[in-house]
Amino acid sequence: MADYDVDTILKGIFDTNEPDWKPADKIPLIVKEIEFLKADLKTFLDSSEYDIDSVVKESTEITKLSKALVEDMEKCKTEIEDQTMAEILKSIENHDMISKELERVNFALDIVCDVLQCGKLVKEFEEGRQAQSYSRAVEAVYDLLQYLDLPVEGFKCLDLHVNTKHTAQLILDRLLHDLFAEWGRLISWNVKPGTKKTIVTITLNFDESMMAVDVVNALEKSKHLSQKVSEFAQALLKDVLVPIINKDCTVFAETDELMTVTINHKPNFRPPYDEVIANLRLLFHYLSNKLNIEYYRDNTIMKMIGKEIHVEFSDILVKDCLIDTIPNNINDLQHYGRITSEIENFQLFLCLVKFFPREGYSILQYVKNIDVLFATKSSQHFLETARAIMLKDLSVTMSIGVESIPEEPVKKQDDGPAKEALKLLDKTIPKSLFYFPRCMISKSAQELLDLVMMMMEQAVQCSDVVCKKLYNTARLVFELYDAVVPYHHEDYLLTIPQYVALFHNNCMYLAHNLQTLGDKWLILMEGREMDYPISFIDLVQKMRDLGYKHLIIHMQHQRNQILDNIRSSDLNCIVVKDVLSENAEAAVRQCLRQLQLLKNVWIGVFPVNVFTRLMGTLVNMFAEELIHRVCTVEDISMEMATQLTEMYTLVVQKAPTLFQKPSDVETHVKSWIKLQELIFVLGGSLKDIENHWKDGKGPLAVHFRTEELRNLIKALFQNTQIRANLLSKIK
């Protein structure tokens, strides 16, 4: 039975390969198979170990019991639906009523609890006030207000809530008013300004009593302590600490509670650092004794003040006081450790009085950049010193330079490229390049140069940062000279010849030294690597141009004076006069006096060659103007010719005396011979003029243009045959 396969049997009966089959043919086969299966089933049941009949009987009884059970369940269901369900619905209704009643009770209970809590806090406030404890009273009022800000539902609708909150706010305002008054009693200050001095008084009534601590705790709980401490700290910084750092002050403890700070108003006064530190020690010692009362977990008023202003105070102290302690020379810098030790001790003191935090902060941070600060300080000092030198009187003079270039003995040189190079150098570079001619300069110019030399000597002893800064400062000194000296001495340079001469010489002397200053610097810096070039060559021509500029301006001024003298006299209107008035000769004499005055001022001040060239320029201009006055006239009377001859002869007599050597007039005055020839023409005859002409080869032909000489002859002599003959020869 277990191995019986229905599909296989059916496939055997119904052969799919049989083309035509009929159901009637297959039925007997199926019936036969069924009968076979029945016989097989019977055989199986007969041989089975189970009592089939008993099983069938038991199954029938179980079926009957099941049906009876179903009927009982149906009856139970009907009974539940008819009776129990009604009772359940009634119970649910009762539960809802009870829940709503409970909610009403809880609602009322919450309101009653809030009312009781408010009453409790009001009672605590009254107890704190009776005990004279501001902290307990403040805590109770704040708790009450906080409780009223978050009430249970319905409490806000009660008049009690509004009245209680209003009352609590009034109580708090009155309480804060009393607290602020107590704070004012504990800490107070007064500033009494005056024209000569300002007096600041600080009164601290803090002590170890519970009352003071209670006031501080109350302010802390009311969140107003930080504000009050901040106000005091800022006033302390502004009215006391900053003046102590910047002005002359006297700090004096009148009593244990009263401190007086007297600020004296002295213009341009900066107190020394040790005096500042001494005054600050007195002040902070007084503050520490009164304000270091611990009120909450190691907190003190002094700590709060320090937290508020210690950074700003330190910045001001460093910027306005301690920076000034940095020296401006290398010798003092080497002993700067003594000052830093004093500053470090002062910082430790501020930490002990709890003004500074114990760790993580130092007012000596600026020392880390000591090189930069020293460089800046030195640079500022040297520039200020240089400017002070530049403002000095230029007329305080000294002699400088050599009279003549010394002849150096010829040194024996080895044969080779070096000898040839030195020979070439001697040929191309004049010896005068390395010598400055004898003249007078202002002592201030030499002082300025000495100052730059001092900067150079100090720079080579310092670090690269300082050296570079001082090198740039040295360059700035000469640029500052260009800006300061001409501006400060402007009036003198426009009016006083000696000042112009000295200023010119100063510029030339400084320019002369600038040529080799860079090489001197490099020699001292030998062995050190630098990432920047050192040279002053580019400033040489600027300095020379500065001297040239003001000398040219003054020369133009002198020229204009000479021309104004001549043009304001009858020499300017020869053509309309037959005889010159006395003002013509007076103008010529005035010009000569002006030139003589320049000689007296300039000789010995300028180098000889410079003086000679300048005087030659002015005398030549004067002579050309005199010549021009005559050569442009169409008619000159005999009387006027005589007058002109006398005046021009006076010029010829006086002019050589204007030079250090009289012979210099012939070399440096281009119109000198022409003036003499003009005098000859004015006083000579036509025959004399013809002899000096010499058919175009005489001195008149050399110094006069043909047209000039023809016009001069026409103006001096009447139209005769002799004049015509002479004019025909002059072509």
The three state secondary structure string of 342-403 is: HHHHHHHHHHHCCCCCCCCCCHHHHHHHHHHHHHHHHHHHHHHHHHHHHCCCCCCEEEECEC
**From CA 71, how far away is CA 116, in angstroms rounded?**
65
User: What pLDDT, on a 0 to 100 scale, did the predictor assign at position 594?
Assistant: 94
The conformation of residue 547, written as its DSSP 8-state character, comes to: H
> What's the mean per-residue pLDDT of the chain?
79
Cα 434 to Cα 455: distance, rounded to the nearest angstrom: 23
Residues 634, 528: one domain? no
Q: What is the domain count for the chain?
A: 5
Is residue 656 included in any domain, yes or no? yes
* Between 181 and 492, residue with greater pLDDT: 492
Instruction: Please determine, for residue 127, whether its predicted confidence score (pLDDT) is greater than 70.
Output: no
Domain of residue 518 covers 376-401+434-552
Residue 198 CB partners (closer than 8 Å, separation 6+): 191, 192, 243, 262, 263, 265
Q: Which residue has the higher pLDDT, 67 or 664?
A: 664
Tokens of 423: 């020979």
Q: Is the pLDDT of residue 549 over 50?
A: yes
* Cβ neighbour number for residue 75 with a 10 Å cutoff: 9
Q: Are residues 561 and 546 in the same domain?
A: no
pLDDT score of 129 more than 60? no
Nearest to 524 by CA among 434, 457, 448, 474: 457
Last residue of a domain, one of 138, 161, 181: 181
Q: Is 528 found in the same domain as 491?
A: yes
Q: What pLDDT shows up at residue 510? A: 94
Given a contact cutoff of 8 angstroms between Cβ atoms, the answer to whether 657 and 598 are in contact is no
Q: What is the pLDDT of residue 169?
A: 59
User: Mean pLDDT, to the nearest integer, of 75-95?
Assistant: 72
Closest C-alpha to 485, from 473, 468, 472, 503: 503
Q: Are 207 and 285 in contact (CB under 8 A)?
A: no
Point out which residues pair with 197 in neighbouring strands.
264
Higher-pLDDT residue of 526 and 417 is: 526
- Coil, strand or helix: which one is 260? strand
Residue 286, pLDDT score = 87
**Do both 129 and 245 map to the same domain?**
no
- Local confidence band at 654 (pLDDT 50, 70, 90 cut-offs): very high
- Whether residue 421 is contained in a domain is answered as no
Q: Is residue 406 part of a domain?
A: no
**What is the C-alpha separation between 712 and 729, in angstroms, rounded?**
15
- Asked if residue 645 lies in contact with residue 585, where contact means CB atoms within 8 angstroms, the answer is no
Q: Is 367 inside any structural domain?
A: no
- Same domain for 483 and 460, yes or no, is yes
Distance CA 627, CA 670 (A): 12
Assess whether pLDDT exceeds 90 at residue 477: yes
The number of helices, as runs of H, and strands, as runs of E, in the chain is 29, 6
pLDDT digits (tens, 9 = 90+) for 386-409: 999 999 999 999 998 887 656 554
479 & 608 share domain: no
| CATH number for the domain harbouring residue 674 | 1.10.357.150
| More confident call, 348 vs 23 | 348
The Cα 512–Cα 478 span in angstroms is 13
* Top-confidence residue, 532 or 309: 309
Q: Indicate if the pLDDT at residue 165 is higher than 60.
A: no
Helix, strand, or coil (residue 241): helix
Considering the domain boundaries, does residue 208 fall inside one? Answer: yes
Instruction: Note the pLDDT of residue 543.
Output: 93
> In terms of domains, do 341 and 219 share one?
yes
Question: Tens digit of pLDDT for each residue in 206-225?
Answer: 765 666 666 677 676 667 77
At residue 728, does pLDDT exceed 90?
A: no
Question: Of all residues in the chain, what percent carry a pLDDT higher than 70?
Answer: 73
Pairing of the two strands 397-400 and 187-192: unpaired
- Are residues 237 and 350 located together in one domain of the fold? yes
Read out DSSP for 52-98? HHHHHHHHHHHHHHHHHHHHHHHHHHHHIIIIIHHHHHHHHHHHHHH
Which of residues 488, 518, 552 is at a domain's end? 552
Residue 521: the pLDDT is: 83
Comparing 507 with 576, the larger pLDDT belongs to 507
**Residues 499/489, Cβ–Cβ less than 8 Å:** yes
- % of the chain exceeding 90 in pLDDT: 21
**How much is the pLDDT for 63?**
81
Q: Are residues 70 and 213 in the same domain?
A: no
The pLDDT score that the predictor gives to residue 152 is 43
The domain boundary, picked from 502, 534, 552, lies at 552
Residue 43 shares a structural domain with residue 29: yes
Q: What is the mean pLDDT of residues 523-549?
A: 85
Burial classification of residue 410, based on how many CB atoms lie within 10 Å of its CB (0-12 exposed, 13-18 middle, 19 or more buried): exposed
**Poorest-pLDDT segment among 21-30, 95-104, 504-513:** 95-104
Q: Residue 52 above 60 pLDDT? A: yes
**Is there a domain that residue 366 lies in?**
no
Q: Which residues contact 254 (CB under 8 A, 6 or more apart)?
A: 260
What span, in angstroms and rounded, lies between the C-alpha atoms of 558 and 597?
11
- More confidently predicted of 104 and 636: 636
Measure the CA–CA gap between 277 and 269, rounded to whole angstroms. 16
Which is higher by pLDDT, 626 or 130?
626
Residue 622 within a domain = yes
Same domain as 572, residue 548: no
Instruction: Quickly list H helices, 260-358.
Output: 273-291, 301-320, 330-333, 337-352
Residue 357 belongs to a domain = yes
pLDDT per residue as tens digits for the range 580-631: 888 888 999 999 999 999 999 999 899 999 999 999 999 999 999 999 888 8
Report the amino acid identity of residue 72. D
Same domain, 61 and 154: yes
